[in-house]
Chain A
Amino acid sequence: MTTSQPAGPVLDSDAAPEGARKIADLKPDLLLTGEHNLCPGCGEPLAVRVYLEALQELGVSRETVMVAGIGCYTMFTGTVDLDLVQALHGRAPSVATGIKRMLPDKVVFTLQGDGDMVNEGLQEVLHTAARGERVTCILLNNGVFGETGGHMTATSVLGQRTKSSLEGRDAEYHGYPILIGDLVSRLQGAAYVARGSVHNAGAVARTKRMLRRAFETQLAGDGFSFVEVLTMCPTGWFIPTADGPDYMHETLGEVHVMGELKVDGMVKTTEELHAENVRKQHEVEAELERGGVDL
């Protein structure tokens, strides 16, 4: 457990054993304060927690430079306790490249949203991956421009209603979403590519392992690493706050499927991840029909 500092008053929970504290009430050591001004139910603070904990667990807090894109998460540039460079919208991968070439022994990573990375700066991330640049790009993907108030991005899924796709994203009219992880994984310079999510505790834990592996890939000098994290944006999706995780799992999560897309040179497509999930689901259902699994 690297998260050790209370972020605010520790809430009591009837169900919890004596002395237990909720993780949500603790802030990562690499945050200067637990306060933030993002919306209730936003997934981005969770993703920030996860990468900060991963860096701390790897013991590289004092040899890391972060490059921030522009989006709601940019608010954290004032509270993340890492040396940091603020980039223009879409331009973080090239800035990270310049930093890494001058500081080859340091961990250098970008934090970008889907509007930043997949709309504005798509060629940046692709070329950085193709060059095998030894940096890590982290994408917080919520399929919407949250900061501007809920507009369609290149990763918005078909049927998604936004302020610029009022009747839902229509392939005929708006085109198809880009599965960025698949584009990146096909490039030779990309060494590790994964897609995580923060819609439940299991997904959060798995995403943290992905981020660790991405940073380890960079530290080993193996090439470019990339982790996409699906994050809730109840505000930009125009849904009740509490519905965020399930809504995301059932909409974005069905298209941008969670899993590892490239490990040790072996590429798996999103379609293959999807098929695996379906197969596993069938196995579980069959098991349940036979009388359930013994947990």
Chain B
Amino acid sequence: MTATTAVRDERRLMEGSEAMVEAAIAAGCRFFAGYPMTPFTELLEHFARRLPEEGGVCINAESELEAVGMAWGALATGARAATGSTGQGLSLMQESFSEITLAELPLVVFNMARGQSDYFQATRGGGHGDYRHIVLAPIDIAEAVELTQLAFHLADRWRSPVLIYGDYLLAHVTEAVSVTPFSVPALPSKEWAVDGSLGGTGRSRSISPLGLGKHGHPGPGIERHLRAIAGKLADIEREEQRVEHAYTDDAETVVVAFGTPARFVRYVVHQLRADGEKVGYVRPISLWPFPSAVVADASAGARVVATFELSAGQMIDDVRLAVLGRAPVVRLGGISTDGSGFGVGALLDAEVVRDRILALHRGGPEAELPPLPVNERG
């Protein structure tokens, strides 16, 4: 099942939300359900406009609980389907994310986050039970277009949910992009999907998170089923790490960042290198599975490893687990929002990021960092 729809391949000005919707449609997504919430709302608007044009369906659900339930139903028929929201709305959906993982349905979730304080929610599998899902964090719109298509492929390949971790800037910035189809190997057809056709044949199908089959061909039972899912997640953890890094061979200061903030870090690190400073960066593209090996390698010769994230410090736990004491790990980022709490604050500024990285690089792990800039504009 590869994307076959007609694709708009000319570059045109699109805001990130629209580009991601076009990418989803190019990947064959034909069902979307969501509930409006800033900064996710525009994604829902574009799906509402575009899916009917493509013969699909977009439902403005009565709540996030129903939005994810509707996507669950559409997925069970074999359709490519997605939902999305932002932190609070995703909190409501967590029970379903957990069970959809156990039901082995290929859900794609668009998380247009307010800042980066939902890293734990995204990467720990915020619901009940032993599960995780793949989390992809694009750095810009062009990469979001690619990762959106990849998300649908990986979800189908593993029969497991994939979450795109976007943010306010990604959703709202307008850039010239083209939605070029992402070529992926063909996947087996979805013989597990239900279409109602096997009723009364003795071979009717059942899609269940409980590992239950039917009389005559019972499923594995709950214990074996849960172990099989855990085994699959271990395979994903090994095979699906994605990461970008630079100058990590000889960097004394390594900065780890993801998503839009990584764009600022990358820019500043290139600048500092041009000035002769031995700094480097690692950008996890998959937040789960976390690219631990690359972070570990980068830390081997480093004097200090830092995270730059727009939160009180969440990814830093994964960085510490990867570094395992090889170098001190400190945080360069922090909470920074605009007055509404939805958008980005004064910390996301190349000069500010540069000052912080340089202070750390010069002063080492004990360095006193400049105070976090405060949002004065309301």
Contacts and interface: CB of A to CB of B under 8 A. Distances in A.
A and B interact: yes
Contact of B69 (A29, A86, A87): A87
Interface string B55-70: 0010101110111111
B213 interface: yes
Interface stretch (B95-103, B135-143, B365-373): B95-103
Nearest to A135: B73
B255 interface: no
Contacts of B96: 88, 91
B314 interface: no
Given A94-B69, A95-B72, A98-B71, A62 B214 contact: no
A170 interface: no
Given A98-B31, A102-B77, A78 B218 contact: yes
Contacts of A93: 66, 69
B210 A91 contact: no
Interface stretch (A7-15, A63-71, A245-253): A63-71
A140 interface: no
B195 A65 contact: yes
Interface residues of B, number: 49
Contact of B204 (A56, A84, A103, A123): A84
Interface string A51-69: 0000110000111110100
A73 to B, nearest CB: 14
Contacts of A99: 73-74, 76-77, 194
Given A32-B214, A81-B201, A87 B72 contact: yes
B215 to A, nearest CB: 4
Contacts, number: 162
Contact of A56 (B77, B79, B200, B218): B200
Contacts of B103: 86
Given A83-B196, A84-B207, A103-B196, A32 B202 contact: yes
B270 interface: no
A222 interface: no
B174 interface: no
B33 interface: yes
Contact of A78 (B61, B195, B209, B212): B212
B75 interface: yes
A247 to B, nearest CB: 32
A83 B99 contact: no
B215 A96 contact: no
Contact of B194 (A81, A83, A97, A101): A83
A102 B198 CA distance: 17
Most chain A beta carbons < 10 A, residue from B30, B81, B195 = B195
Contacts of B210: 86
B196 to A, nearest CB: 4
A55 B199 CA distance: 10
B197 interface: yes
A207 to B, nearest CB: 21
Interface in A156-172: none
A101 to B, nearest CB: 5
10 contacts: A32-B215, A62-B197, A62-B201, A77-B214, A78-B215, A81-B199, A81-B214, A101-B74, A106-B195, A127-B66
Top 6 nearest A-B pairs by Cβ distance?
A98-B73, A94-B69, A61-B200, A86-B208, A98-B74, A32-B215
Given A77-B214, A78-B206, A123-B62, 4 more contacts: A81-B201, A91-B66, A91-B96, A101-B73
